[in-house]
Structure 1
Amino acid sequence: MEKKIAIVAVVVAALFLAGTFIATKMKSTNAALAACGAGAIAGGAVGGPFELVNSNGETVTNEDVITEPSLVYFGYTFCPDICPTDAMRNAVATDLLDEQGTEVTPIFISIDPERDTPEAVGYFANNFHERMIGLTGSIEQTTAASKAYKTYFAKEANGDPDYYLVDHSTYTYLNIPGMGVVDYFSHTDDPETVAERTACIVDAVGAN
Protein backbone atom coordinates (compact mmCIF):
# COMPACT_ATOMS: atom_id res chain seq x y z
CA MET A 1 0.00 0.00 0.00
CA GLU A 2 2.78 2.39 0.97
CA LYS A 3 4.57 1.54 -2.30
CA LYS A 4 1.49 2.48 -4.33
CA ILE A 5 1.15 5.76 -2.45
CA ALA A 6 4.81 6.54 -3.14
CA ILE A 7 4.37 5.86 -6.86
CA VAL A 8 1.29 8.09 -7.00
CA ALA A 9 3.19 10.83 -5.20
CA VAL A 10 6.04 10.62 -7.71
CA VAL A 11 3.63 10.79 -10.65
CA VAL A 12 1.80 13.78 -9.15
CA ALA A 13 5.10 15.56 -8.53
CA ALA A 14 6.25 14.87 -12.09
CA LEU A 15 2.99 16.21 -13.54
CA PHE A 16 3.26 19.30 -11.35
CA LEU A 17 6.82 19.98 -12.49
CA ALA A 18 5.88 19.42 -16.14
CA GLY A 19 2.94 21.80 -15.81
CA THR A 20 5.13 24.40 -14.14
CA PHE A 21 7.75 24.08 -16.88
CA ILE A 22 5.15 24.46 -19.65
CA ALA A 23 3.53 27.45 -17.95
CA THR A 24 6.92 29.11 -17.45
CA LYS A 25 7.90 28.48 -21.06
CA MET A 26 4.60 29.87 -22.37
CA LYS A 27 4.97 32.95 -20.17
CA SER A 28 8.50 33.48 -21.48
CA THR A 29 7.37 33.02 -25.10
CA ASN A 30 4.46 35.41 -24.71
CA ALA A 31 6.76 38.00 -23.17
CA ALA A 32 9.16 37.65 -26.11
CA LEU A 33 6.32 38.05 -28.61
CA ALA A 34 4.97 41.08 -26.80
CA ALA A 35 8.41 42.68 -26.82
CA CYS A 36 8.43 42.34 -30.62
CA GLY A 37 5.01 44.00 -30.86
CA ALA A 38 3.20 40.81 -31.90
CA GLY A 39 -0.56 41.08 -32.19
CA ALA A 40 -1.35 37.37 -31.70
CA ILE A 41 -0.28 34.95 -28.98
CA ALA A 42 1.16 31.49 -29.65
CA GLY A 43 -1.36 28.75 -29.03
CA GLY A 44 -4.29 31.10 -29.64
CA ALA A 45 -7.50 30.42 -31.48
CA VAL A 46 -6.26 31.57 -34.90
CA GLY A 47 -4.85 29.04 -37.35
CA GLY A 48 -5.08 25.29 -37.51
CA PRO A 49 -4.90 22.22 -39.76
CA PHE A 50 -5.94 22.43 -43.40
CA GLU A 51 -5.96 20.26 -46.51
CA LEU A 52 -5.64 22.03 -49.85
CA VAL A 53 -4.28 21.54 -53.38
CA ASN A 54 -0.96 22.92 -54.61
CA SER A 55 -0.03 24.16 -58.08
CA ASN A 56 0.85 20.62 -59.18
CA GLY A 57 -2.62 19.36 -58.34
CA GLU A 58 -1.35 17.50 -55.26
CA THR A 59 -3.33 17.44 -52.03
CA VAL A 60 -1.20 18.87 -49.22
CA THR A 61 -1.70 19.67 -45.56
CA ASN A 62 -0.50 22.55 -43.41
CA GLU A 63 2.34 20.33 -42.20
CA ASP A 64 3.51 19.82 -45.79
CA VAL A 65 3.73 23.51 -46.62
CA ILE A 66 4.42 25.25 -43.30
CA THR A 67 7.85 23.80 -42.68
CA GLU A 68 9.46 27.08 -41.62
CA PRO A 69 8.15 30.49 -40.51
CA SER A 70 5.46 31.37 -43.07
CA LEU A 71 3.45 34.42 -44.09
CA VAL A 72 -0.05 33.11 -44.81
CA TYR A 73 -2.54 35.20 -46.82
CA PHE A 74 -6.07 34.48 -48.06
CA GLY A 75 -7.13 36.12 -51.33
CA TYR A 76 -7.95 35.36 -54.96
CA THR A 77 -6.23 35.80 -58.32
CA PHE A 78 -9.02 37.90 -59.90
CA CYS A 79 -8.77 40.45 -57.08
CA PRO A 80 -8.31 43.85 -58.76
CA ASP A 81 -6.24 45.67 -56.17
CA ILE A 82 -5.90 44.53 -52.55
CA CYS A 83 -4.58 40.99 -53.16
CA PRO A 84 -1.83 41.96 -55.63
CA THR A 85 -0.75 44.77 -53.29
CA ASP A 86 -0.59 42.48 -50.26
CA ALA A 87 1.09 39.66 -52.20
CA MET A 88 3.76 42.08 -53.42
CA ARG A 89 4.19 43.46 -49.88
CA ASN A 90 4.74 39.94 -48.54
CA ALA A 91 7.17 39.16 -51.38
CA VAL A 92 9.23 42.28 -50.66
CA ALA A 93 9.20 41.48 -46.93
CA THR A 94 10.45 37.97 -47.76
CA ASP A 95 13.38 39.43 -49.71
CA LEU A 96 14.18 41.87 -46.89
CA LEU A 97 14.23 38.96 -44.45
CA ASP A 98 16.48 36.97 -46.81
CA GLU A 99 18.97 39.82 -46.69
CA GLN A 100 18.98 39.56 -42.90
CA GLY A 101 19.49 35.81 -42.95
CA THR A 102 15.91 34.95 -41.93
CA GLU A 103 14.08 32.66 -44.33
CA VAL A 104 10.30 32.57 -44.48
CA THR A 105 7.79 31.05 -46.90
CA PRO A 106 5.07 33.32 -48.33
CA ILE A 107 1.81 31.38 -48.87
CA PHE A 108 -1.22 32.51 -50.89
CA ILE A 109 -4.46 30.59 -50.24
CA SER A 110 -7.32 31.17 -52.67
CA ILE A 111 -10.84 31.76 -51.39
CA ASP A 112 -12.21 31.58 -54.96
CA PRO A 113 -11.87 27.91 -55.96
CA GLU A 114 -14.47 28.26 -58.72
CA ARG A 115 -12.00 30.21 -60.86
CA ASP A 116 -8.65 29.61 -59.17
CA THR A 117 -7.39 26.32 -60.54
CA PRO A 118 -4.14 24.88 -59.14
CA GLU A 119 -2.30 26.13 -62.23
CA ALA A 120 -3.80 29.62 -61.99
CA VAL A 121 -3.02 30.14 -58.31
CA GLY A 122 0.47 28.70 -58.79
CA TYR A 123 1.16 31.09 -61.67
CA PHE A 124 -0.19 34.02 -59.66
CA ALA A 125 1.97 33.22 -56.62
CA ASN A 126 5.13 32.59 -58.65
CA ASN A 127 4.77 35.96 -60.36
CA PHE A 128 5.29 37.64 -56.99
CA HIS A 129 8.00 35.43 -55.54
CA GLU A 130 9.70 32.20 -56.58
CA ARG A 131 9.14 30.73 -53.11
CA MET A 132 5.52 31.83 -52.75
CA ILE A 133 3.26 28.78 -52.51
CA GLY A 134 -0.15 29.03 -54.15
CA LEU A 135 -2.92 26.84 -52.75
CA THR A 136 -6.54 26.24 -53.73
CA GLY A 137 -8.98 23.34 -53.38
CA SER A 138 -12.64 22.53 -53.27
CA ILE A 139 -15.06 25.04 -51.76
CA GLU A 140 -15.24 22.76 -48.70
CA GLN A 141 -11.45 22.71 -48.34
CA THR A 142 -10.97 26.45 -48.79
CA THR A 143 -13.86 27.26 -46.46
CA ALA A 144 -12.39 24.99 -43.77
CA ALA A 145 -8.97 26.63 -44.10
CA SER A 146 -10.54 30.09 -43.93
CA LYS A 147 -12.51 29.18 -40.81
CA ALA A 148 -9.37 27.81 -39.15
CA TYR A 149 -7.70 31.20 -39.62
CA LYS A 150 -10.86 33.13 -38.71
CA THR A 151 -10.87 34.91 -42.07
CA TYR A 152 -13.93 36.19 -43.91
CA PHE A 153 -14.96 35.94 -47.55
CA ALA A 154 -18.19 36.31 -49.48
CA LYS A 155 -18.80 36.03 -53.22
CA GLU A 156 -20.52 39.02 -54.79
CA ALA A 157 -24.25 38.43 -54.98
CA ASN A 158 -25.74 38.57 -58.49
CA GLY A 159 -22.34 39.39 -59.96
CA ASP A 160 -21.15 38.49 -63.44
CA PRO A 161 -20.59 34.69 -63.47
CA ASP A 162 -17.10 35.16 -64.91
CA TYR A 163 -16.00 38.51 -63.45
CA TYR A 164 -17.57 38.59 -60.00
CA LEU A 165 -15.71 40.03 -57.01
CA VAL A 166 -15.13 38.37 -53.64
CA ASP A 167 -15.21 40.42 -50.46
CA HIS A 168 -12.62 39.16 -47.98
CA SER A 169 -10.44 39.98 -44.99
CA THR A 170 -6.89 41.10 -45.69
CA TYR A 171 -4.69 39.95 -42.83
CA THR A 172 -1.38 38.15 -43.29
CA TYR A 173 -0.57 35.61 -40.56
CA LEU A 174 2.89 34.69 -39.32
CA ASN A 175 2.78 30.95 -38.64
CA ILE A 176 5.71 29.16 -37.02
CA PRO A 177 5.84 25.32 -37.06
CA GLY A 178 5.11 23.90 -33.64
CA MET A 179 3.70 27.20 -32.41
CA GLY A 180 1.01 28.17 -34.90
CA VAL A 181 0.02 31.77 -35.58
CA VAL A 182 2.11 34.14 -33.47
CA ASP A 183 1.40 37.45 -35.19
CA TYR A 184 -0.65 39.06 -37.93
CA PHE A 185 -0.20 42.04 -40.24
CA SER A 186 -2.86 44.34 -41.65
CA HIS A 187 -3.13 45.68 -45.19
CA THR A 188 -1.62 48.98 -44.02
CA ASP A 189 1.61 47.45 -42.70
CA ASP A 190 4.54 48.09 -45.06
CA PRO A 191 7.22 45.51 -46.04
CA GLU A 192 9.71 46.95 -43.56
CA THR A 193 7.26 46.53 -40.67
CA VAL A 194 6.46 42.95 -41.66
CA ALA A 195 10.14 42.08 -42.01
CA GLU A 196 11.20 43.80 -38.79
CA ARG A 197 8.55 42.19 -36.59
CA THR A 198 8.94 38.80 -38.24
CA ALA A 199 12.73 38.81 -37.75
CA CYS A 200 12.32 39.84 -34.13
CA ILE A 201 9.82 37.07 -33.42
CA VAL A 202 11.72 34.36 -35.27
CA ASP A 203 14.88 35.28 -33.37
CA ALA A 204 13.07 35.54 -30.03
CA VAL A 205 11.52 32.06 -30.27
CA GLY A 206 14.59 30.46 -31.83
CA ALA A 207 12.83 29.48 -35.07
CA ASN A 208 15.81 30.24 -37.33
Structure 2
Amino acid sequence: MAGHAMNQIFRAVSILFLALLPVACGGPAPPERAPLDGVKIGGPFSLTDQDGKARTDRDFAGRYRIMYFGYTFCPDVCPTDVQTIGAGLRAFEKQDAARGAKVVPIFVTVDPKRDTPAVLKTFVSAFHPRMVGLTGTPEAIAAVAKAYGIYAEAEKPNAEGGYLVAHSRFAYLMDPAGKPVALLPQDKTPKDVAAELDRWVR
Protein backbone atom coordinates (compact mmCIF):
# COMPACT_ATOMS: atom_id res chain seq x y z
CA MET A 1 0.00 0.00 0.00
CA ALA A 2 2.81 2.32 0.93
CA GLY A 3 4.52 1.49 -2.35
CA HIS A 4 1.31 2.26 -4.26
CA ALA A 5 0.97 5.62 -2.50
CA MET A 6 4.60 6.49 -3.27
CA ASN A 7 4.03 5.64 -6.92
CA GLN A 8 1.00 7.94 -7.03
CA ILE A 9 2.98 10.75 -5.42
CA PHE A 10 5.88 10.23 -7.82
CA ARG A 11 3.47 10.24 -10.75
CA ALA A 12 1.78 13.43 -9.55
CA VAL A 13 5.12 15.18 -9.06
CA SER A 14 6.24 14.05 -12.54
CA ILE A 15 3.09 15.40 -14.13
CA LEU A 16 3.48 18.68 -12.27
CA PHE A 17 7.13 18.93 -13.34
CA LEU A 18 6.25 18.29 -16.98
CA ALA A 19 3.45 20.84 -16.82
CA LEU A 20 5.79 23.49 -15.48
CA LEU A 21 8.70 22.65 -17.76
CA PRO A 22 7.61 24.83 -20.73
CA VAL A 23 7.18 27.77 -18.38
CA ALA A 24 10.57 27.26 -16.78
CA CYS A 25 12.31 26.90 -20.15
CA GLY A 26 10.36 29.73 -21.78
CA GLY A 27 10.36 33.37 -20.76
CA PRO A 28 11.13 36.44 -22.87
CA ALA A 29 13.36 36.00 -25.90
CA PRO A 30 16.76 37.65 -25.70
CA PRO A 31 16.92 41.16 -27.22
CA GLU A 32 17.52 41.23 -30.96
CA ARG A 33 21.09 42.14 -31.81
CA ALA A 34 21.42 45.32 -33.85
CA PRO A 35 22.90 44.82 -37.34
CA LEU A 36 25.71 47.31 -36.71
CA ASP A 37 26.40 46.25 -33.13
CA GLY A 38 30.16 46.37 -32.55
CA VAL A 39 30.94 48.08 -35.87
CA LYS A 40 33.35 51.00 -35.53
CA ILE A 41 31.31 53.83 -37.00
CA GLY A 42 30.95 57.34 -35.61
CA GLY A 43 32.94 59.49 -33.26
CA PRO A 44 33.29 63.01 -31.90
CA PHE A 45 32.85 66.02 -34.16
CA SER A 46 32.81 69.80 -33.95
CA LEU A 47 30.79 71.47 -36.71
CA THR A 48 28.42 74.37 -37.39
CA ASP A 49 24.65 74.08 -37.75
CA GLN A 50 22.22 75.85 -40.09
CA ASP A 51 21.86 78.72 -37.62
CA GLY A 52 25.61 79.33 -37.47
CA LYS A 53 25.83 77.76 -34.01
CA ALA A 54 28.76 75.54 -33.03
CA ARG A 55 27.58 71.98 -32.48
CA THR A 56 29.39 68.88 -31.27
CA ASP A 57 28.39 65.24 -30.97
CA ARG A 58 27.81 65.85 -27.26
CA ASP A 59 24.84 68.09 -28.09
CA PHE A 60 22.97 65.00 -29.27
CA ALA A 61 23.92 62.65 -26.44
CA GLY A 62 20.95 60.77 -25.02
CA ARG A 63 19.03 60.80 -28.30
CA TYR A 64 18.93 58.58 -31.33
CA ARG A 65 20.44 60.19 -34.41
CA ILE A 66 19.85 59.63 -38.10
CA MET A 67 23.15 60.55 -39.76
CA TYR A 68 22.97 61.20 -43.50
CA PHE A 69 25.81 62.64 -45.58
CA GLY A 70 25.11 64.51 -48.81
CA TYR A 71 25.06 67.99 -50.30
CA THR A 72 22.36 70.50 -51.16
CA PHE A 73 23.44 71.00 -54.78
CA CYS A 74 22.92 67.29 -55.46
CA PRO A 75 20.58 67.10 -58.47
CA ASP A 76 18.58 64.03 -57.50
CA VAL A 77 19.68 61.40 -54.96
CA CYS A 78 20.24 63.52 -51.84
CA PRO A 79 16.93 65.43 -51.93
CA THR A 80 15.06 62.18 -52.58
CA ASP A 81 16.80 60.35 -49.74
CA VAL A 82 16.35 63.20 -47.27
CA GLN A 83 12.69 63.54 -48.21
CA THR A 84 12.20 59.82 -47.50
CA ILE A 85 14.00 60.13 -44.16
CA GLY A 86 11.97 63.17 -43.13
CA ALA A 87 8.65 61.60 -44.16
CA GLY A 88 9.59 58.33 -42.46
CA LEU A 89 10.37 60.11 -39.20
CA ARG A 90 7.08 62.04 -39.39
CA ALA A 91 5.21 58.75 -39.86
CA PHE A 92 7.01 57.27 -36.86
CA GLU A 93 6.20 60.37 -34.77
CA LYS A 94 2.54 60.01 -35.72
CA GLN A 95 2.63 56.37 -34.68
CA ASP A 96 4.48 56.99 -31.40
CA ALA A 97 5.11 60.63 -30.50
CA ALA A 98 7.16 59.85 -27.39
CA ARG A 99 9.65 57.61 -29.17
CA GLY A 100 9.65 59.79 -32.27
CA ALA A 101 10.76 62.77 -30.18
CA LYS A 102 13.88 60.81 -29.20
CA VAL A 103 15.14 60.81 -32.80
CA VAL A 104 17.14 63.70 -34.30
CA PRO A 105 17.62 63.72 -38.10
CA ILE A 106 21.03 65.15 -39.03
CA PHE A 107 22.22 66.11 -42.51
CA VAL A 108 26.01 66.51 -42.80
CA THR A 109 27.26 68.17 -45.95
CA VAL A 110 30.14 66.74 -47.94
CA ASP A 111 30.36 70.02 -49.85
CA PRO A 112 31.27 72.66 -47.24
CA LYS A 113 32.52 75.06 -49.91
CA ARG A 114 28.98 75.72 -51.15
CA ASP A 115 26.86 74.51 -48.24
CA THR A 116 26.99 77.48 -45.90
CA PRO A 117 24.71 77.59 -42.84
CA ALA A 118 22.21 79.77 -44.75
CA VAL A 119 22.07 77.32 -47.66
CA LEU A 120 21.66 74.39 -45.27
CA LYS A 121 18.86 76.14 -43.39
CA THR A 122 16.74 76.46 -46.52
CA PHE A 123 17.45 72.85 -47.45
CA VAL A 124 16.80 71.02 -44.17
CA SER A 125 13.73 73.05 -43.24
CA ALA A 126 12.01 71.69 -46.34
CA PHE A 127 12.17 68.10 -45.09
CA HIS A 128 11.60 68.04 -41.33
CA PRO A 129 11.17 70.82 -38.74
CA ARG A 130 13.73 69.24 -36.41
CA MET A 131 16.31 68.33 -39.02
CA VAL A 132 19.78 69.65 -38.19
CA GLY A 133 22.14 70.67 -41.00
CA LEU A 134 25.86 70.57 -40.27
CA THR A 135 28.79 72.10 -42.13
CA GLY A 136 32.32 73.12 -41.22
CA THR A 137 35.83 73.49 -42.53
CA PRO A 138 36.91 71.05 -45.24
CA GLU A 139 39.20 69.44 -42.67
CA ALA A 140 36.42 69.01 -40.11
CA ILE A 141 34.04 67.58 -42.72
CA ALA A 142 36.72 65.18 -43.97
CA ALA A 143 37.32 63.99 -40.40
CA VAL A 144 33.66 63.28 -39.62
CA ALA A 145 33.15 61.64 -43.00
CA LYS A 146 36.09 59.34 -42.31
CA ALA A 147 34.73 58.50 -38.84
CA TYR A 148 31.45 57.40 -40.43
CA GLY A 149 33.08 55.52 -43.30
CA ILE A 150 31.82 57.99 -45.90
CA TYR A 151 33.58 58.41 -49.23
CA ALA A 152 33.26 61.86 -50.80
CA GLU A 153 35.13 63.42 -53.71
CA ALA A 154 34.29 66.48 -55.76
CA GLU A 155 34.41 65.97 -59.51
CA LYS A 156 36.07 68.34 -61.95
CA PRO A 157 34.11 71.63 -62.31
CA ASN A 158 32.36 72.33 -65.59
CA ALA A 159 32.78 75.49 -67.68
CA GLU A 160 30.39 77.40 -65.39
CA GLY A 161 32.21 76.27 -62.26
CA GLY A 162 29.53 73.84 -61.16
CA TYR A 163 30.44 70.37 -60.01
CA LEU A 164 29.05 67.17 -58.59
CA VAL A 165 30.29 65.35 -55.50
CA ALA A 166 30.53 61.58 -55.62
CA HIS A 167 29.79 60.20 -52.15
CA SER A 168 28.59 57.20 -50.17
CA ARG A 169 24.83 56.86 -49.77
CA PHE A 170 24.09 55.73 -46.22
CA ALA A 171 21.66 56.75 -43.48
CA TYR A 172 22.95 55.54 -40.12
CA LEU A 173 20.74 55.17 -37.06
CA MET A 174 22.92 55.86 -34.01
CA ASP A 175 21.83 55.06 -30.45
CA PRO A 176 21.73 57.52 -27.52
CA ALA A 177 25.35 56.66 -26.69
CA GLY A 178 26.47 57.45 -30.24
CA LYS A 179 26.94 53.83 -31.27
CA PRO A 180 25.68 52.53 -34.63
CA VAL A 181 22.45 50.53 -34.63
CA ALA A 182 21.36 49.96 -38.22
CA LEU A 183 21.27 51.36 -41.73
CA LEU A 184 17.93 52.98 -42.53
CA PRO A 185 16.40 52.15 -45.93
CA GLN A 186 16.43 55.72 -47.25
CA ASP A 187 16.35 54.35 -50.79
CA LYS A 188 12.96 52.72 -50.20
CA THR A 189 9.78 54.30 -48.80
CA PRO A 190 8.93 56.42 -45.74
CA LYS A 191 6.95 53.44 -44.47
CA ASP A 192 10.12 51.32 -44.55
CA VAL A 193 12.05 53.99 -42.64
CA ALA A 194 9.28 54.25 -40.03
CA ALA A 195 9.22 50.47 -39.63
CA GLU A 196 12.97 50.35 -39.02
CA LEU A 197 12.75 53.16 -36.46
CA ASP A 198 9.92 51.32 -34.72
CA ARG A 199 12.13 48.23 -34.61
CA TRP A 200 15.10 49.84 -32.88
CA VAL A 201 14.09 53.01 -31.02
CA ARG A 202 13.28 52.20 -27.41
Per the TM superposition, whether the score is higher than 0.5 is yes
Query: Aligned residue for 1:15?
Result: none
* Residue 54 (str. 1) matches residue 54 (str. 2): no
Letter of the structure 1 residue corresponding to residue 142 of structure 2: T
Listed one character per residue, the Cα deviations across residues 140-175 of structure 1 (whole Å, up to 9, x for unaligned) are 111111011001111002445642000011110001
Letter of the structure 1 residue corresponding to residue 116 of structure 2: T
Q: Distance in 1 between matches of 2:80 and 2:168?
A: 14
Listed one character per residue, the Cα deviations across residues 125-152 of structure 1 (whole Å, up to 9, x for unaligned) are 0111111101100001111110110011
Query: Aligned residue for 1:86?
Result: 81
- Give me the CA root mean square deviation: 1.7
Q: Distance in 1 between matches of 2:88 and 2:71?
A: 20
8 A contact 2:108–2:134 mirrored in 1:
yes
Which of 55, 64, 85 is the matching residue for 1:69?
Answer: 64
Q: Percent identity?
A: 37
Query: Aligned residue for 1:39?
Result: 35
> Gapped runs of 5+ residues in structure 1?
1-30, 204-208
8 A contact 1:122–1:135 mirrored in 2:
no
Deviation at 1:200, TM superposition (A): 1.4
Letter of the structure 1 residue corresponding to residue 131 of structure 2: M
Query: Aligned residue for 1:191?
Result: 190
Letter of the structure 1 residue corresponding to residue 95 of structure 2: Q
Q: Distance in 2 between matches of 1:186 and 1:83?
A: 13
| Count of equivalent residues | 169
Deviation at 1:121, TM superposition (A): 0.9
Instruction: Mark the CA change 1:74 to 1:66 in structure 2 (over 3 Å): closer, same or farther.
Output: farther
Q: Distance in 2 between matches of 1:122 and 1:67?
A: 24
Deviates more, 1:77-86 or 1:119-128: 119-128
Instruction: Mark the CA change 1:161 to 1:140 in structure 2 (over 3 Å): closer, same or farther.
Output: farther
Instruction: Mark the CA change 1:108 to 1:160 in structure 2 (over 3 Å): closer, same or farther.
Output: farther
Which of 76, 99, 115 is the matching residue for 2:94?
Answer: 99
Deviation at 1:66, TM superposition (A): 5.0
Query: Whose helix fraction is larger, Structure 1's or Structure 2's?
Result: 1
Query: Aligned residue for 2:121?
Result: 122
Deviation at 1:67, TM superposition (A): 4.4
